[in-house]
């Protein structure tokens, strides 16, 4: 549990699955000034642009990834009036339908919670050291970075 200017932020990089409801309860518990919690859950899709996949492998940079996630979380707490941030990102071998990532933001106000969650996802997609490899009947294939993700992340850089 790190502390970004007094705001509880907690990041995890783990192979294991997580319980979204439990994470939301934990973030909101003990602070009755939280009026809004937004969650984003990313899931492994079976159909990709290259056909059906049987598995996805997520490589990351141990020792660096948690730092990157903490930096991203801290940036969000500096930009929006948040009461809590939680990021969980899985690594290892996942199957279609499995959860990959969870981002939670808690705030008094819904607009801040929504914007911060979008910001966190855009930055995770472009700055966190994870690489996806899709496995299908045709073998393994590293996923290409998408330019629209860069564009989505860029929209935050003009602000404040």
Is residue 22 involved in binding a second copy (CB under 8 A)? yes
Q: Which does 144 bind (CB under 5 to 8 A by kind): a second copy, another protein, none?
A: another protein
Is residue 89 involved in binding another protein (CB under 8 A)? yes
Is residue 152 involved in binding a second copy (CB under 8 A)? yes
DSSP β-bridge partners for residue 136: 139
Is residue 126 involved in binding another protein (CB under 8 A)? yes
Report how far residue 12's alpha carbon sits from residue 14's, in angstroms, rounded to the nearest whole number.
6
Residue 137: both structure tokens together: 């009947």
Among the listed ranges 16-24, 26-34, 44-52, 129-137, the one in contact with another protein (CB under 8 A) is: 129-137
Report how far residue 62's alpha carbon sits from residue 129's, in angstroms, rounded to the nearest whole number.
9
Question: Binder to a second copy among 1, 47, 139, 159 (CB under 8 A)?
Answer: 47
Question: Binder to a second copy among 3, 14, 41, 92 (CB under 8 A)?
Answer: 41
DSSP-assigned states of every residue in 29-73: TT-TT--EEEEEEEE--SEETTEE-SEEEEEE-TTTHHHHHHHHH
Is residue 138 involved in binding another protein (CB under 8 A)? no
DSSP β-bridge partners for residue 132: 58
- The dihedrals phi and psi of 99, each to the nearest 5 degrees, come to -75, 140
Whole-Å CA distances, 101 to 51, 74, 105, 132:
22, 18, 14, 13
Q: Which does 39 bind (CB under 5 to 8 A by kind): a second copy, another protein, none?
A: a second copy
Q: Can you give the binding site for a second copy, defined by CB under 8 A?
A: 19-22, 24, 28-29, 32-47, 96-97, 108, 110-111, 113-114, 117-118, 121, 152
| Footprint on this chain of another protein (rule: CB under 8 A) | 42, 58-61, 63-64, 67, 89, 100-101, 121, 124-133, 142-146, 149
């Amino acid at each position: 549990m790190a502390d970004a200017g007094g705001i509880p932020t907690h990041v995890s990089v783990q192979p294991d699955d997580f319980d979204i409801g439990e994470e939301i309860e934990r973030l909101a518990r003990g602070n009755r000034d939280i009026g809004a919690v937004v969650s984003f859950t990313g899931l492994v899709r079976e159909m990709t642009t290259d056909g059906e996949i049987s598995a996805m492998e997520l490589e990351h940079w141990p020792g660096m990834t948690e730092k990157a996630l903490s930096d991203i979380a801290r940036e969000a707490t500096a930009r929006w009036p948040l009461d809590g941030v939680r990021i969980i990102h899985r690594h290892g071998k996942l199957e279609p339908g499995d959860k990959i990532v969870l981002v939670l933001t808690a705030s008094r106000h819904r607009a801040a919670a929504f914007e911060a969650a979008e910001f966190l996802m855009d930055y995770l997609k472009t700055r966190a050291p994870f690489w996806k490899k899709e496995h299908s009947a045709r073998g393994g294939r590293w996923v290409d970075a998408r330019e629209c993700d860069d564009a989505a992340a860029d929209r935050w850089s003009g602000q404040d």
